[in-house]
Structure 1
Amino acid sequence: MSVDGWNTVLVLGGIRSGKSEFAESLVSDAPVVRYVATAPEGDPDDTEWAARLAAHRQRRPGSWTTEETAGDPRRLADVVASAAPNETLLVDDLGGWVTVLLDPAHQPADDTATIDELAAAVRGCAARLVVVSPEVGLSLVPTTPLGRAFTDALGAANRAVADACDAVVLVVAGQPAWLKRAAATVPVARGAAGPEVSAVAPPAVNGAALEPTPELVSLPDVRTPAPPAPPAESATSWAAPTMALPMVATGLVIQPGMELPMPDEYAGPQAVERLATLDVPGAGLGVLEQVVNFAAATQGTPTPAAWSSVRVLLLNGDHGGGAAAGTVPGDSARRAGQARAGRGALARLAAESGATLQVVDAPTAGPIEAEPALTGEQVESALRYGWRLAEEAAEAGVQLLVLAACGAGTEAAAAAVLAATAGAEPPAVLGRVVTDSGEIDDAAWMRRCAAVRDALHRTRRSPRGAKEVLAELGGGDIAIATGVLLGATARRVPVMLDGPVGLAAGLISRDLAGQARHWCLLADHGGDPASKLAADVLGLTPVLDLRLDLGEGANALVALPMLRSVLALAAALPTHPSLTGGTDRDDEGADEVGTDEPDFAEPEPAGPGPTSTEPEEQRADPSGSRAG
């Protein structure tokens, strides 16, 4: 936003000053906006006014809803006062509202009292609110009583609403000038759809609330890898943290049926069509065309650029009970510690790829065979936490997120989610358990299967909604991953999945916002049965099939350089000369480069007959005399 800390803002401006467009830009990051239209329809014969209204409607995204208040000017105060904290309102504009207020059809009325009611509603508004109003106080005093009444009432309304708003901006010739800025007390990080009001209640472990800790109150550090160390060194150094924002409640209500953005439906096919015109010596990019298609759709251009800013989110959250059978206690914490210190496969690959790394600690989930993994409050907190992680990445300019996980029991939790949402049988989607020594532990695999089976039996009569599945079976890491997918979708940031946690989150996100899966790219399913089935349910085709098993997230980083190379190649190669009308021949007498006339040769007859194209009367007789 252009000014920090505001909850309500008044946007002033003259006619055609760009005030409405600027106001719309202030709420462009909100997934859903309630547009409050105050102007009446006007005279049906006034085509110019109708065209203005149509232009305003056409500019609004499809996810916005429209509410009309022209029928009753007093209703605007009620709409503002009753707005919920998770809502975003855009009122456009007070000029139309004053016009209706002064309409004889609504008289007699106490204009001053109605304006005061609106100002009081704005001052107490819990939602995010942007009010647009024309600034007419700089013009000449109207010569008619009705004109003077309008300017006086609008001036009084602007003054009262400006006093009630946190911030006021004047737009002159498309340039915003802030007249009143929000009080700069404690910096507040805002969510995509509502004001920040209080600290998020931290997640709990096995039903017991945790005390607030720095890891839960604020976002984890983002670490930027240094260039790879020489072979003689055994560790990679890391730079200081680049960002740490306070984690506070966004007021966002994450619920089923959210309307989030979709990728550009035209840019992807156009990019694939363009690939067929490139000057390549072979047949093209093969299956990697889908990478260009995906990047073009998510970037909204037929010539997508390679992702230069990539962030890896490593979710570290264990699952208790039989889900973690066969794992070494404390191993996931050791892996997370390695990543923080710049060691291990994931950190090394992130350093090679120039990606930043953020280690996210999730609460330990309870044993799902005996009790819910999380409480409902913990699920809500984890979803908002993941949303904020994605939002912070978007604000930092990240172009691609990579989801990774290192918790104990994640495979069994993902299998439970898959069984609950897609009807899979636990033994069919649970991979074999391999010990540190490389041996297959069938006893541990059976304990995991039994834990998932018992959890499904325990919840057989429970609802199968997204949040209920997360609470009963999913756990903290899958809940945070779901929030990341939703937040990234809201901010149009693509996400690369690699492993059961990310794919389980993709399955959960379908019931909350079906658009999220269209922003996901699957690097490699790695042969994991749960990942293969989840990818099939989500309609995601793996880009590669390398059968790597370096840990969730590491496989994606192995593929990342190749995907970047493909995108860079597709963007840089020129069009084939044959499609531009030119040639590259340098032979004597050959066509010059850029010639528009194509080469043409008269075809020879296929059988006996005249071989000359000369007219009949000019054709020579072999006997020396003319025919006829």
Structure 2
Amino acid sequence: MNLDDFGDLIQRPDGSVRRGAEERRERTGLAPSALGRLDELAEWLSAAQSEVPVRPISRPKLVLFAGDHGVADLDVSARPAGSAGELVRAHLDGESPAAILARQHGVPTRIVDMSLDCERAGLPAEVTDLRVRHSSGRVDLEDALTLHETEQAVRAGMALADEEADSGTDLVVLGDLSVGGTTIAGILIAALCGTDASVVTGRGGAHIDDLAWMRKCAAIRDGLRRARPAMGDQVELLSAVGGADFAATTGFLLQCSVRRTPVILDGVVSAACALVAHRAAFRAPDWWLAGHASGEPAQLKALDRMGLDPLLDHGVTVGAGAGALLALPLVRSAAELAAQLPVREPESDASTAAGAAEILEAT
């Protein structure tokens, strides 16, 4: 598998349609800056849909890739290693912040088990079972996955993107349910941005203490040593220091871009996967929005590298797509305004000439 092949498959959103959306906006009579960034969002959506006026968002979907990571054994997270399954159950029980927001905004959720460290029989039937293995390897000592497992996970993510596109999903809200995931994200982003471990090490969604932060920084440093020899190939990189959920998310993002399905990214995990996908296909980020700034330093570095400006900055760190869900009403509002604001049709040459003749006759 060579992810670089996506570079030829992914095209940018239609530039001529975007110009048409801009021209339509100019005919509303509103001042050019009256709607601020909402205009930019509406024009982006219009180009993604290849339609003017833009269609309102009617079938969004929250997609969460779930997995445990062996690096959590190093106590780099406030949550115990192997407990991502509990996050899955909390979301399905409607008790997590993301579940409450998804319910509030009427957004259905799809949770995908890629590498949870629990028995399959203990998971609700609503979970999509594409598990590659129990947990991912401890990346400071060993590869996260075999190459075969990595390719399997990438292809699973691609197939899910096709399923969502074929079912009519018109906007994906992307998130993760993982333990140890922010550490993996830090390794990938530090490797791809060429920076040191301390620069990308944050406190995670559960706000770890200073000792845990130092352990996390050391784990990212050790993971970086293993990541650098694999920098020439994205699949090898994901195999060495990624994980099944990261590989699946990367494949999902790439195939969403192929299928012209726009995506709102959540926190540092989705940003890391997006950065890997961006390395394979430089046009892919044109199909993504950064939902919010989570405060994780690695996320900000990744978004800056891809040229993505977060829509919101409220310091939300709970993950599971919560920050991206908060950005969804903004995107929906932009589409509704662009679709419903009345426009002034330009006067024809004949009517303009007739008006001028009447003025001359009156004088």
Shorter-chain TM-score bucket reads: 0.7 to 0.9
Pairing of 1:501-512 with structure 2 (within 5 A): 501-512=269-280
Q: Deviations over 1:45-67 (max 9, x none)?
A: xxxxxxxxxxxxxxxxxxxxxxx
> Structure with the greater relative contact order (CA < 8 A, sep ≥ 6): 1 or 2?
2
For the 8 Å contact 1:428–1:529, the answer to whether it is kept is yes
Residue in 2 that maps onto 1:339: 91
For the 8 Å contact 1:260–1:515, the answer to whether it is kept is no
Pairing of 1:527-546 with structure 2 (within 5 A): 527-546=295-314
Q: Does 1:399 align with 2:164?
A: no
TM superposition shift of 1:265: 1.9
CA distance in 2, matches of 1:257, 1:342: 40
Q: Deviations over 1:224-247 (max 9, x none)?
A: xxxxxxxxxxxxxxxxxxxxxxxx
**Gap regions ≥5 residues in structure 2:** 116-134, 349-353
> 1:355–1:459: structure 2 CA closer, same or farther, 3 Å change rule?
closer
TM superposition shift of 1:312: 0.9
For the 8 Å contact 1:405–1:553, the answer to whether it is kept is yes
Residue in 1 that maps onto 2:35: 285
Q: Deviations over 1:559-604 (max 9, x none)?
A: 2122212211111111248x559xxxxxxxxxxxxx9459979xxx
Pairing of 1:177-576 with structure 2 (within 5 A): 253-258=1-6, 259-262=8-11, 263-280=13-30, 283-321=33-71, 325-329=76-80, 331-363=83-115, 364-433=135-204, 435=206, 441-576=209-344
Q: Deviations over 1:67-117 (max 9, x none)?
A: xxxxxxxxxxxxxxxxxxxxxxxxxxxxxxxxxxxxxxxxxxxxxxxxxxx
> 1:569–1:397: structure 2 CA closer, same or farther, 3 Å change rule?
same
Q: Deviations over 1:11-64 (max 9, x none)?
A: xxxxxxxxxxxxxxxxxxxxxxxxxxxxxxxxxxxxxxxxxxxxxxxxxxxxxx
**RMSD (Å), alpha carbons:** 2.5
The farther-off stretch of 452-461 and 469-478 is: 452-461
For the 8 Å contact 2:2–2:235, the answer to whether it is kept is no
> 1:598–1:379: structure 2 CA closer, same or farther, 3 Å change rule?
farther
Q: Deviations over 1:322-380 (max 9, x none)?
A: 56513222543222112223332222211222222111112221111111111100100
TM-score normalized by structure 1? 0.50
CA distance in 1, matches of 2:324, 2:312: 10
Q: Point out the structure with max Rg over C-alpha.
A: 1
CA distance in 1, matches of 2:339, 2:19: 15
The farther-off stretch of 528-537 and 260-269 is: 260-269
Q: Aligned with 1:407: secondary structure? A: strand
Q: Aligned with 1:343: secondary structure? A: coil
Q: Deviations over 1:367-408 (max 9, x none)?
A: 111111111001000001001111111111111111111201
Q: Aligned with 1:349: secondary structure? A: helix
For the 8 Å contact 2:182–2:204, the answer to whether it is kept is no
CA distance in 2, matches of 1:384, 1:419: 25
Q: Which has the higher helix share?
A: 2
For the 8 Å contact 1:432–1:441, the answer to whether it is kept is yes
> 1:389–1:373: structure 2 CA closer, same or farther, 3 Å change rule?
same
The farther-off stretch of 499-508 and 335-344 is: 335-344
For the 8 Å contact 2:144–2:243, the answer to whether it is kept is yes
For the 8 Å contact 2:175–2:267, the answer to whether it is kept is yes
CA distance in 1, matches of 2:145, 2:288: 26
TM-score normalized by structure 2? 0.84
For the 8 Å contact 1:420–1:469, the answer to whether it is kept is no
